[in-house]
Amino acid sequence: MKLSDLDIIVTAPPAPGWGGRYWLLVKLTTACGIVGWGECYAAAVGPQAMRAVIEDVFARHMAGESPENIELMFRRAYSAGFTQRPDPTVMGAFSGLEIACWDILGKARERPVWALIGGRMNDRVRAYTYLYPLAHHDTHAFWTSPDLAAEAAEEAVAKGYTAVKFDPAGPYTIRGGHEPARSDIAQSVAFCAAIRKSLGDRADLLFGTHGQFSVGGAIRLGRAIARFDPLWFEEPIPPDDFRALGRVAAGQPVPVATGERLSTKGEFASALAAGAAILQPALGRAGGIWEAKKIAALAEAHTALVAPHLYAGPVEWAANIHLGVSLPNLLMCETIETPFHTNLIGGAIAVDAGFIPAPSAPGLGIEVDEALARANPYTGDALHLEMQEAPCNYAEGNSFQGGAPAPES
């Protein structure tokens, strides 16, 4: 069994667009005709340039190789160009291809991927969701309205979710960590208060940010929201300073979660050493399923938990679920429910009352609807996610809709 052919599909989710502007799906086929699907998350270049990176990584390190040789192929890609350090774009390309290898291996052995990476530890995986505008909400007002957020939280809990995430604390910018505006802190407190009042003890609050604060700003914000007992304070500062992460973890009481923008075990080990309590690997960036399994083992040795991140399509989500089924220190998995996410994999994996049952079909347990993916090509020139150039607005306040806001209707 040898890896033979590669196909890449860049598909754009239609409105409301949750999950980013486009998804990079990879299809690997063996010489004996077994097809595996993967998804690349990390891309610091546009989709056409990223297509070339994926093709290069496959041709250099994987073509003609057995899909079983995950470790060998990882070491080739990790060491390419005399690096032996995580280049996020190269590791993003490898990660998607690696996920596809596991899909192939599971299909070849007629077993789900979780059975090949340690077996079933969890019969079901706890899911959480971001709070998105409901159909009747004003999508512009939603992002600064504690009351509308509380409404969305109520609907999520009514569906069975036991944790909801929201990020009302202002913009993430190319300027690095900034001090939050006092109005951003007040708005964050108001969101926590409204959602906690609405949900009571029925669900955990997950306070999201995107690495936008200085150390002092993150500590101020964490202390301000602590009385509402959020389960985590996500990525409070930029991802490249682990000593600063440790100062934030020690300087305020909310457990620090991080990992969306980290890649490979070395970076996650540094986050753990700094005091991160919850790791959030994005499997399409972190190095793939096998590297994420190693990351989870490091977390277990630090009595830390794992909550795989998702702001992508359903192929990466499927990989997250198989990883989660196998982990003793799983906390939960991020989930995005849109018709496009569901239809792209034919509803093969789905949330049931806030939990995802362990998949039973071989491989990832999904088949991608290629016709649907190709019928929604990406034609824009923006990246999957983008940071803004404008600084934090200390005078008029900030309204943040994410790096890839929903298209205008």
Catalytic site residues? Answer: 210, 309
User: Whose structure tokens read 């934090």?
Assistant: 392
Q: Is the peptide bond before 16 cis (omega within 30 degrees of 0)?
A: yes
Exposure string of 172-188, with b = 16+ CB inside 10 Å and e = fewer, is bbeeebbbbbebbbebb
Spatial separation of the C-alpha atoms in residues 75 and 385, rounded to whole Å: 28
Retrieve residue 152's tokens. Answer: 């969305």
Q: Residues 57, 90: contact at Cβ < 8 Å?
A: yes
The alpha-helical segments, DSSP class H, found in 200-313 are 215-225, 242-251, 264-274, 289-301
* Residue 339 CB partners (closer than 8 Å, separation 6+): none
Q: Residues 58, 97: contact at Cβ < 8 Å?
A: yes
Spatial separation of the C-alpha atoms in residues 270 and 177, rounded to whole Å: 19
CA torsion through residues 177, 178, 182, 184, sign: negative
First CA to last CA across the chain, in angstroms? 48
Strands 3-11 and 23-30: antiparallel
Spatial separation of the C-alpha atoms in residues 319 and 341, rounded to whole Å: 14
Retrieve residue 265's tokens. Answer: 């075990």
Strand order in the sheet with 3-11: 3-11, 23-30, 35-40
